[in-house]
Structure 1
């Protein structure tokens, strides 16, 4: 359940205090934009950004301040909020940008499209992975099939959070796992921290909100190249991610290499959808780069998901294949927390439910922004796996 923002405990007179107070004032508007929308033209008043109530918009920004993964990112957000000068339309646009530029990058309300590692791999591919790791990592981009092999080899053919052994790996070579008295095996798949949606585009903001957050004018439509539309969204998402978390995502991903080892991991099929829905996340522990607390959203549901409270990631290849990047998990955890506490995750899920009838909505020509978002999401499912 969403939670009200805590009281303003930032130092009185500081920029953080002033920015956070703006969030509290916006939250006080409740569930309706009221006069904010009434002063806008009809087209602007129907912008998707207003699907997020003042409460949700305020909580996105407020909890983003409280859970920012970087000091610089927090300072940037403080300044962006101050630049809005308590203007409800601009704050709505800024909040929407953070939802669609970050939370949407991680959250897939329908869960992942599973491509089982177990059904794909063979013992020959495992040997090839072990022998040719350097060659595979030297490639500019990594294919999904090669990424699966690399993840299995690095993760010792186990789900990194539950420890479940990849079923086919066990069936092909049971002696590989003879160090454990009891082995639990199951199907596994390739998990991604960042999804393909870093290449999606966004829409649904008013012109004033777009101008204030310095977005390029939205020109995508269903008759334009989907690739061109995606590139526009990639620039926006990457800018938000870098500004908030200090991660130059396009540079690190070589534009679109989401299958790089730092972004992938082996996960049990039964847990994969929950991770993609932000139902649980890995929170880095300060004194250990590879140890994480596993948080569920809502909290205290580890037993329900059969998750441990803490996990330490290890590399079975002795450093040949990089482990998942701590910064990526840290941002994923921050977004999961913000989405849960603000209620933004529920709104994103509602948008996806609305898209089930997207063809009907698009007939009047006024819902192209929703159709474009739906199409890019479907392209995501087709492109990742």
Structure 2
């Protein structure tokens, strides 16, 4: 199919969820108005949305809604993330419009920044980062005790993906963290694990190791002394700059280190379908208020029905109570998934669906797959710009 003559990004379904009005119960009950300048900031966002609707500018409608929903969702998770993320967005929206035209354009540019860097950083849309599945222990065919295999795999022996993938599997009991499926590759190394599977009448298949924050976000970070100096001053790959502006420097520093994105607290063990759902924002985790306990949230009830039907864990099977999981670890050097990263992923997932960014990313990927050659008349410029924007450097606000 030749798409070179098509007008890029003619989306019909990306602008479904309007921002709540300033006087609406959702905004008043959110408590966001208690922050300094929050009301003025939100009024400016609503004005940008209204202007975009009047101009029938679908992308600008989406960008305004990205900012509006994002600040509301971040404030709802202030118990985990603090107030700094919302304060950052308030400052950005309320800054002088010099260089952006008017206030509406500031809103659109802020929305574009967070769509292309933060939200996209937590979304894994393709299989570009699949790795060959490593054998658990090439020098030993099996372990007499599951405890021995777990201890061996969690020894501090590196932070590359192959090493931390093994640690994550061991931390998670060599099972999918939601369904309880056993990792097929691990079973052949432990008779005890095989007996456990048989006792529980379990199911086995290859368990995937999922990144909460997409691996591609740290490409080119921490690869040399010179680049490290630059990244830590005024510029940084988008999501890292945003983490720092949000007051999450400890996360950005750890992730910017060589192979830092493979930190075990950025990894989840999930069966293949749920692995894909997590990456495409069809699955996320909301804190219950109890340490390491989360509600499993999905974008489509068929996913929940699928989980309940196939799960071998009592907390995610059957019907009735909300799906819940506990991410725990008693293993030294193998902490559970980071609650702040999970909160940011949940925020991005909800904002992506409410703003229409999910459809934007889907359409962008479809356009990229269908377009083999850029059009000579320049009509592919928007596509190229959108594909390249996550890899651009952004200036941090000081």
Q: TM-score, length-normalised on structure 2?
A: 0.71
The answer to whether structure 1 residue 341 and structure 2 residue 341 are counterparts is no
Contact 1:355 1:370 in 2 (8 A): yes
Structure 1: where are the runs of 5+ without partners? 35-49, 202-226, 379-385
The answer to whether structure 1 residue 23 and structure 2 residue 45 are counterparts is yes
144, 149, 155: which is aligned to 2:166?
Answer: 149
How far residue 291 of structure 1 moved from its aligned partner, in angstroms, is 0.6
Output aligned runs, 1:218-233, within 5 Å. none
| Secondary structure of 2:325's aligned partner | strand
The aligned counterpart of 1:279 is 282
Q: 1:199 to 1:113 in 2, by over 3 A?
A: closer
258, 266, 269: which is aligned to 1:266?
Answer: 269
210, 216, 219: which is aligned to 1:191?
Answer: 210
How far apart in 2 are the matches of 1:187 and 1:199?
26
Contact 2:47 2:104 in 1 (8 A): no
The aligned counterpart of 2:122 is 106
How far apart in 1 are the matches of 2:283 and 2:302?
10
Output aligned runs, 1:108-147, within 5 Å. 108-110=124-126, 113-115=129-131, 117=133, 120-122=135-137, 124=140, 130-131=151-152, 133-136=154-157, 139=158, 142-147=159-164
How far residue 351 of structure 1 moved from its aligned partner, in angstroms, is 1.7
The aligned counterpart of 2:184 is 167
90, 105, 110: which is aligned to 1:89?
Answer: 105
Contact 1:358 1:371 in 2 (8 A): no
The aligned counterpart of 2:335 is 322
| Secondary structure of 2:237's aligned partner | helix
Q: 1:336 to 1:132 in 2, by over 3 A?
A: closer
- For residues 187-218 of structure 1, the C-alpha deviation after alignment (integer angstroms, 9 at most, x for no partner) is 111111111231369xxxxxxxxxxxxxxxxx
| Secondary structure of 1:293's aligned partner | strand
When the two structures are aligned, how many residues end up with a matched partner?
Answer: 329
Q: 1:250 to 1:362 in 2, by over 3 A?
A: farther
The aligned counterpart of 1:312 is 326
Contact 2:283 2:299 in 1 (8 A): yes
How far apart in 1 are the matches of 2:34 and 2:162?
54
How far apart in 1 are the matches of 2:111 and 2:156?
43
Q: 1:274 to 1:11 in 2, by over 3 A?
A: closer
How far residue 251 of structure 1 moved from its aligned partner, in angstroms, is 0.6
Contact 2:63 2:115 in 1 (8 A): no
| Secondary structure of 1:194's aligned partner | coil
How far apart in 1 are the matches of 2:356 and 2:96?
22
Contact 1:103 1:339 in 2 (8 A): yes
How far apart in 1 are the matches of 2:34 and 2:47?
16
| Secondary structure of 1:311's aligned partner | strand
The aligned counterpart of 1:239 is 241
The aligned counterpart of 1:60 is 66
Contact 1:165 1:186 in 2 (8 A): yes
CA RMSD of superposed structures (Å): 3.5
Structure 2: where are the runs of 5+ without partners? 1-12, 23-27, 221-226, 317-322, 392-398
How far residue 109 of structure 1 moved from its aligned partner, in angstroms, is 3.0
Contact 1:281 1:332 in 2 (8 A): yes
The aligned counterpart of 1:75 is 87
The aligned counterpart of 1:382 is none
- For residues 307-351 of structure 1, the C-alpha deviation after alignment (integer angstroms, 9 at most, x for no partner) is 731100122x53341111111111101110111111112112222
Contact 1:106 1:332 in 2 (8 A): yes
| Secondary structure of 1:182's aligned partner | coil
